[in-house]
Amino acid sequence: MLHDGILSEKVAILTSGGDAAGMNPAVKSAADYARKNGMEPYLVEWGLRGLIEGWIKPATTERLTGIIHRGGTALGSSRSKRFFEYQFREQAYNHLKELGISKLIIIGGDGSFRALNQFYVDFEVPFAGIPATIDNDISGTDYCLGVDTALNMIRSSVDCIRDTASSFSRAFVIETMGRDCGYLAMTSALATDADVCIVPEINYDLELIGERLREQREGGKKYILGIVAEGTGMGEPLTRWMGDALGMDSRLTVLGHVQRGGSPTVYDRIMAFKFAVAAVENLKAGETNKVVTFKDGSFGSSSIHDITDTKHECDPELIELVRGLSC
């Protein structure tokens, strides 16, 4: 395709790893902004597997219309073990070469970024990464796409559980996603006025928690809400403990993959647009192996090594705000 008489550069966009609300707005925004800047955008279906299989198509208006309000990823995603074998990376490179695609934009997590970094080492295909994971556990950025939508899904669920908890004077434990990161659990605990929060980042003391809750019960509190991060493995143990220590009918609700779904919030849609613009600008500037970051209210970029070689640490101010719910 010609743009102002010059053969335009081709860029392929893909989503990879766990799905997150905000991926679809990021895909559309990246394609639209790339086209406005003289690039010819393509879409890769089914993530890394799609690169290997050559499932790569032009980003047509028809393909991009009506996707920004949808949760998950309209392109599909996959975790391809084959991509970590050279022969399949070479196969993926050949597909890109046949189409004349010279750059990539990947929307996903640090595992996806590592995969494309190895791809660059092998074949020197530069990429820009957009962080998208509801766990919000990528180093170097304060925010990842999908987090706000996930938090609103959790908030809605906890509010519904509160209705039945208060109706029956029960204790409820709600388990959120998060693996080794308690961001979702901590933020949700504050936003829903939970009574207990158990996360990997904070040492908890059940004896002190019990004393505090029994005192609150004596003061007239009719129900208890506890929120735990899945990485602690405390969902069932805390539920049993509440029943034994507080003498209450206790129930566990594992929210699971409902947290990944839902129409992206306004915040996630706007952040997706801003992340996408920054990713295209990075590629235009000739940057390679950079991940777009949002830090202290500003957009920037970090090298893939800074992202993957640095252990993620949760906001210390958030941890301090929640600490009182763990003892």
Over residues 259-283, the pLDDT tens digits come to 999 999 999 999 999 999 999 999 9
Greater pLDDT, 150 or 305: 150
Is 7 a residue whose pLDDT tops 80? no
Q: What is the mean pLDDT of residues 247-264?
A: 94
Classify 2-146+264-310 by CATH class: alpha beta
**Maximal CA-CA distance, the chain:** 78
Count the Cβ atoms, other than its own, within 10 Å of residue 219: 7
Is 227 a residue whose pLDDT tops 70? yes
Q: Where do the CATH 3.40.50.450 domains begin and end in the chain?
A: 2-146+264-310
Strand-pair category, 56-58 with 39-44: antiparallel
Q: Both tokens of residue 216?
A: 């609150």
DSSP code of residue 8: P
Q: What is the mean pLDDT of residues 209-219?
A: 95
Query: Taking all residues of the chain, what is their mean pLDDT, rounded to a whole number?
Result: 94
* Type of residue numbered 83: F
The Cα–Cα gap between 246 and 113 comes to 46
Sheet bearing 250-254, strands edge to edge? 196-198, 224-229, 171-176, 250-254
Q: What is the mean pLDDT of residues 221-244?
A: 96
Note the CATH number of domain 148-260. Answer: 3.40.50.460
295 in Cβ contact with 302 (< 8 Å): no
Percent residues over pLDDT 70 in the chain? 98
Q: Where do the CATH 3.40.50.460 domains begin and end in the chain?
A: 148-260
> Residue 79's pLDDT is what?
81
Is 32 a residue whose pLDDT tops 80? yes
Greater pLDDT, 16 or 178: 16
The number of CA neighbours under 13 Å toward the Cβ of 277 is 8
Phi, psi of 294 (to 5 degrees): -125, 110
Q: What is the mean pLDDT of residues 124-142?
A: 95
**Considering only CA atoms, which of 184, 185, 186, 193 is closest in space to residue 162?**
193
Percent residues over pLDDT 90 in the chain? 90
- Cite the active site residues: 135
> Residue 128's pLDDT is what?
97
Q: What is the mean pLDDT of residues 9-28?
A: 96
> Residue 1's pLDDT is what?
52
